[in-house]
Amino acid sequence: MSWIFLEASDVWLFRDGKPFSAGEGHVARSVFPPHPTTIQGVLRSLLIGHSTVSWSDFGRQADPAAQKLGQMIGYPAASGRAASLGTFSMAGPFLGRREGARVVRQIPLPADVIKRQHSASHIALRPLRTHAGTVGWPLTHVTPSLSIKGVFDRLRGKHTNRTSTHAELSLLWPEDADPIEAPEGDWWIDETILGDYFAGQAFSPQVASDLFVREGRFGIAMDYALGRPRDQMLYQAEFVRPHIDVGLLINLADSITLPADPDGRGLLAIGGETRCAQYELLPPDAVTPTPAPPLGPRLKLVLLTPAWFSGGWQPADGNMGWTRLIGAPVKLISAALKPPQHIGGWDVSLGRPKPMYACVPAGSVYFFEALAPDTQQIAAPAAALTETPPQELPFAHQGFGQVAAGSWEWLETA
C-alpha cells in the first residue's frame, strides 16, 4: 500500500446527503473529511480521465484497453454483467497534517472521552465490571427503554424495545469522582498521542478550527438560456478551507498507480463544483505506521472511517459477526457510539442517486473481550471492520471500517 496526500488549491465542498436546490430554505452542509465513496470515485475517475479510453468505451468494456483498465479499477454494471472494483483498494480518507517531512494522521475525538471540568485535560472512560445496561449521553442520562440499536432501527423506520443483547453491555464510567462533562464541539487528536488515550492517561485534544474552517457562501441559480440569474433562487452552501499543510491522507493499493510529474505530484478535481486539489505520492516512510497493540484478552477498537453493519450499529448476528470480522472468538463488552452518519451519493453510470445507508461514524468505540479471557489473546483485525450492504461493491476496499486498536482494563467499582 502507498500513501497519497491531497491538499486544497481552493475551498472544498462535500455535501451531506440532504436534497438541496436553489430557492430552498436550508444550507448545503459539508461533510469533512468526505465519505470514502467520494474519494474512491475521485481517484477512479482520475485514472479514467488520464487513460486513452473514452467513458463510453470504459462503460461497455468492449475493447482490450477498456478491459485492462477495468481489471485495475473495476467497472459499472451492465446488461448481464455485475459491477466490479477490480484490484482497486484503498483505506481512508483520513485527515492529515504535514509536519516537516512526515504527514501525521488526525483522529476524531473518540466517543468514550470525557472532559474534566477543572482542567483542560480529557480522559477515556472504562467499562464497569459490576454494572450492565444501556447508557446515553451525557452519562447521567440513562435510557432504559431504548437500546443503542433502537436508535438506528428508528432511523431506519423500525420500532423496537430494548433487547437482552444490549442489556448485557457494561456501562462506561470515569475512574475517579472528579466533576466531568461531555466535550462540546468538534475535537481531534494527533495520532502520536493515541498511546496516551489507550493507556488511560490524560491528554489535550485540539479543536477542529486548528485544522480547518467552515465558510458559508451565497450564490444564485442561473438561467443559462436567458443568460441571467433566476428570480428568487438564492442558495447558501458551506465550504471547507483546510489550513496550510492540512489535507486528506489516503492509503492506496500498490496495484494502483496515479499519474504524476517527476516530483510525484499532480492535480485533480474533487467534490462539489469540481474544486481543485493537488496530490503528492508520499515516500514509504512519510507516514508513521500505527503500532500494533500488545496481545491480551481485551481489545478496544476506534473507528477512523465510517463502517456499515447489517444490524445497524453491529453485525446482525452479534458476537458471531464480531468474531468473523476480528478473526478470533470475542464478545462485545461495551460501545460508545456517535450519531449515525447517512452516506449515499450519485450513481454516475445510472444517472440517479445511490441508496442511503446509516453508518457508524468515525470516532465510535467498541470494547471486546476474549470468550476465554484466562487463556485467549486477541490481535487487532487484519482487515477492515465493516460489512457491505447487499448489491454494493465491497465497502472494505473503498476505505470503510479503518480502525486504531489498543487494549483496555476493567473498572472494578464506581
Out of 236, 270, 286, a domain closes at 286
Domain presence at residue 154: yes
pLDDT tens digit sequence for 232-264? 667 778 899 999 999 999 999 999 999 999 999
Write b or e for each residue in 21-50: b if 16 or more Cβ atoms lie within 10 A of its Cβ, otherwise e: ebeeeeebbbbbbbbbbbbbbbbbbbbbee
The answer to whether 404 and 296 have CB atoms below 8 angstroms apart is: no
- Helix (H), strand (E) at residue 236: strand 228-242
Q: Which residue has the cell 467520494?
A: 38
| 355 and 230 belong to one structural domain | no
Q: Which residue segment(s) compose the domain that 227 sits in? A: 2-106+209-286
In this structure, what is the dihedral angle of CA atoms 110, 114, 116, 119, given to the nearest 10 degrees? Answer: 20
Over its length of 414 residues, how does the chain's per-residue pLDDT go in tens digits? 899 999 999 999 887 766 555 445 556 778 999 999 999 999 999 999 999 999 889 989 989 999 999 999 999 888 778 899 999 999 999 999 999 999 999 999 999 999 988 887 899 999 998 766 544 433 333 333 333 444 444 444 443 333 334 547 899 999 887 788 888 889 999 999 999 999 999 999 999 999 999 998 777 777 778 777 777 667 778 899 999 999 999 999 999 999 999 999 999 999 887 899 999 999 988 997 777 788 899 999 999 999 999 999 999 999 999 999 999 999 999 999 999 999 987 777 777 888 899 999 999 999 999 999 988 999 999 899 999 999 899 999 999 999 999 999 999 875
What CATH code is carried by the domain that includes residue 298?
2.60.40.4350
Residues in the chain: 414
Name, in order, each residue with C-beta under 8 angstroms of 229's C-beta and a sequence gap of 6 or more: 220, 221, 222, 223
| 99 and 163 belong to one structural domain | no
> Which grid cell is 72?
485495475
When divided into structural domains, the chain yields a total of 2
